[in-house]
Amino acid sequence: MGAENSVNNKNTNQSLTTLEHGLERRRIISQKVRNSIVICLNTNTDVKNKDWQRTIAELQHTVHNCVTFSDNDQCIEFTQTLDDLKACVVIFGSVGQQFISRIHNISQVDSIYIFCNNKQRYESLTKVWSKIKGIFTDTTLICETLKQTIQHCEQNALPLSFIPSTKNLDQLDISFVYTHFLKEIILTRHFGDENIKEFTAYCRELFADNEEELIDVKEFENKYRQETPIWWYKKHCFINPMLNCALRSMNGNLLICMGFFIADLHQQIEQSKSDSSSSTNFKVYYGQGLTKNDFEQLKKSRGGLISFNNFLLTNKNLTGSLNFAEDISARSDLVGIMFVMNIDPSQSSNYSEIKDEILFSIGTIFRINDIKRLTSSNRLQEVHLSLINEKDKDHIALMNYIRQENNSEKDGWYRFGAVLIKMNRFDKAEQVYQLLLEETKDMNKKASIYEQLGWIEYKREKYSEAITFYEKALMIYQKNPAINQLDLANLYYGIATAYSKIDNSSKALLSHKEALKIREQLLPSDHLDLAKSYGNIGLLYVAANDCPTALSYFEKEFAINQKFLPPNHPDLVVALMDIGVLSYNTDNCTKALASFEKALEIRQKILPDNDLGLVESYNNIGLVYNRMSDQPKALLNHEKALAIREKVLPKNHPDFGESYNNIGVTYENMNNHTQACSFLERAIEVGLCSLSADDPILQLRKDNLERVKEKL
């Protein structure tokens, strides 16, 4: 029997869909809009049995997100695909120990419940398997228990970011940057009724096979303006978990669709605070479970900041939050946290009072003041926070950093995608740009989006796919000239670098030259983008064995970089070494020697005395002196290279062969053939240990030895 989809309570005779269609769709939906799911397994009862269908219908009515199976293996397979969702597994009827052991060890499983006719028969299992949280015989009771468990899972999934007081802003948590960047964009946009229609249309498609959710979607569409955003946020329906899940998973598509609701909810919170008469300090409480790793991060951040990267509903009553934290610490492998938040009403307009509850807006930041252990096992902790003053220097630094990252002339969602790329969240960035691509009719904007999609593929190292997107953008610009020609130059540059990655040098060179032509026309002669073009073109001429042309481009690159980089910058060393090698290959030994010695001078200032980077410089200088027939200086430099290798490399390391060969050839040029033979023999000996018999390097060394032996 295949896996079964849940049935709605409107038609208990409706046939169940198959795994290939219904359950796979439900899995995808679950991952988009909720942080938890109920999985029901029944291998004993006919799925068309009315009592079974009635029970499942009641479960679906209670938790909305319920999937059924009649096959153990399919149930296991499905559960393992849930990524970071938490599953509550309900087993109906007889229970096998083997299945319990398999399902129990799946990390996505939060809890297991058994629904049967004989409770006493299975009570002993709760002592063996810690995830079995109850044995039930009553449908109403298990529905209420599952409802509470799902709420716990959703609450524990609230995304947090910890910012230690010593944190480098460039190393901020991705979720923090994402949330605050998103907030900046959404709160500066205008939304209208068409956004509500687009969202509900999206939801109707998403919940096409879930009657319970569709009822709520219809109500939301018809009555959204009749109730407040806070009312909808607190209502038991898809809105709250969908928003929480979208923010936690950084689902760009869904967040764009829900932008109007985020803006409305934030605005109501601000308005409610301005209408509030409260002026005295007070405390609120919030319970949550943290993984051990997250709790360690929290401890390391004591004195720093914590950001709740979602809307946060807290309570003025201690009891509920403490009970929640205690329950979490006792029922799972999480650390139960009872947050105690001190609120000074004069410091922020970031919250709204709702009777005994306080709702904070998205991304509210607190100072972590203290952490207290409430039990000897460390499983229950009390964390004291204070709502941060918006004039606090740490808060100002964070917000300035976000705004700096957000500084661009492009539309907010375009910038949003660019930041996601910068954070290496390529799948999320792709979602944003694909949605924008569908919405825009402006051809230049389409070209810009194609270019960003190409950059995503480039970062994924899918260079052919990147070229496809880049060339779509180029085709648009050829028909609709780019407003900013430098954008076109950057596009050519991107195309060229992608072609270089797939070894299509001719097309890479053509595109680099197109980029350079525009840049030379529009940019100052010492602009760093010109240096990048010169360097890349030089590399392509090196690959084509056109050393004179490559050298001319490298010299232009070096001239620009020398103006902007510190005098001892490692990149200057790389450029000098390239210029030296090309000069050597074109028999310009004077220029080669000058470049190698300048590179050595920089390396001696920035590297330890025995660094292997110095070996490269000494070897190259030695080779130049050999060609210039100054053998004593050549020998001196090759011996310096060998001395460093002897200090830092293990005996018989393959690199010794290079030094022995170079010294041997130098002795040959000095007509000391006995010493030459000695070193060349050692070079061959080392080579035989690391090189294949037909390796050209080994053959060269053998040829050198034979030549010297003939001179003895």
CA distances from 343 to 265, 386, 479 (A): 20, 6, 58
Q: What phi and psi, each to the nearest 5 degrees, are found at residue 213? A: -65, -40
If one counts every other C-beta atom within 10 angstroms of the C-beta of residue 3, the result is 25
Domain stops at, among 156, 184, 214:
156
pLDDT at 186 over 60: yes
pLDDT at 625 over 80: yes
Better-scored residue on pLDDT, 418 or 687: 687
Residues 91-122: tens digit of each pLDDT: 987 777 778 888 888 888 988 999 888 888 88
How much is the average pLDDT of 457-480? 93
Residues 37-52: tens digit of each pLDDT: 899 888 876 666 777 8
| 191 and 328 part of one domain | yes
Q: Can you give the pLDDT at residue 383?
A: 95
Residue 389: inside a domain: yes
Return the ∠ at Cα 530 (arms to 524 and 535), rounded to 5°. 155
Overall number of domains in the chain: 2
| 209 and 282 part of one domain | yes
| 216 and 364 part of one domain | yes
Residues 366-414: tens digit of each pLDDT: 999 999 998 877 789 999 999 887 777 777 777 776 666 555 545 667 7
DSSP class of residue 278? -
Structure tokens at 473: 């953008």
Domain housing 232: 158-405
Torsion of CA 317, 323, 325, 329, to 10 degrees: 170
Q: How confident is the model at residue 201 (pLDDT cuts 50, 70, 90)?
A: very high
Domain stops at, among 380, 405, 430:
405
| 374 and 343 part of one domain | yes
Residue 57: inside a domain: yes
| 232 and 218 part of one domain | yes
Residue with tokens 């040098």: 505
| 331 and 209 part of one domain | yes
Domain stops at, among 352, 374, 405:
405
| Sequence-ordered list of residues with C-beta below 8 angstroms from that of 225, at least 6 positions apart, any chain | none
| 370 and 290 part of one domain | yes
Q: Can you give the pLDDT at residue 220?
A: 94
Residue 711: inside a domain: no
If one counts every other C-beta atom within 10 angstroms of the C-beta of residue 402, the result is 21
**What CA–CA distance (Å, rounded) separates 271 from 248?**
26
| 129 and 178 part of one domain | no
Percent of the chain with pLDDT over 70: 90
pLDDT at 172 over 50: yes
| 99 and 137 part of one domain | yes
Average pLDDT for the chain? 85
Residue 705: inside a domain: no
How much is the average pLDDT of 663-676? 93
Residue 618: inside a domain: no
| 113 and 208 part of one domain | no
Residue 208: inside a domain: yes
Q: Can you give the pLDDT at residue 170?
A: 58
Residue 123: inside a domain: yes
Q: Can you give the pLDDT at residue 501?
A: 94
| DSSP 3-state of 87 | strand
**What CA–CA distance (Å, rounded) separates 99 from 202?**
38
Residues 270-322: tens digit of each pLDDT: 887 655 556 688 999 999 999 888 999 999 999 988 989 889 999 999 998 89
Q: List the CATH number of the domain containing 350.
A: 3.90.176
Residue 210: inside a domain: yes
Q: List the CATH number of the domain containing 123.
A: 3.40.50.280
| 116 and 195 part of one domain | no
Q: Can you give the pLDDT at residue 641?
A: 94
Lowest mean pLDDT among 24-28, 138-142, 664-668: 24-28
Q: Can you give the pLDDT at residue 262?
A: 92
- Beta carbons of 579 and 551 less than 8 angstroms apart: yes
User: Does pTM top 0.75 for this prediction?
Assistant: no
| 43 and 141 part of one domain | yes
| Sequence-ordered list of residues with C-beta below 8 angstroms from that of 171, at least 6 positions apart, any chain | none
Q: How does DSSP assign 537-564, residue by residue?
A: HHHHHHHTT-HHHHHHHHHHHHHHHHHH
Better-scored residue on pLDDT, 170 or 467: 467
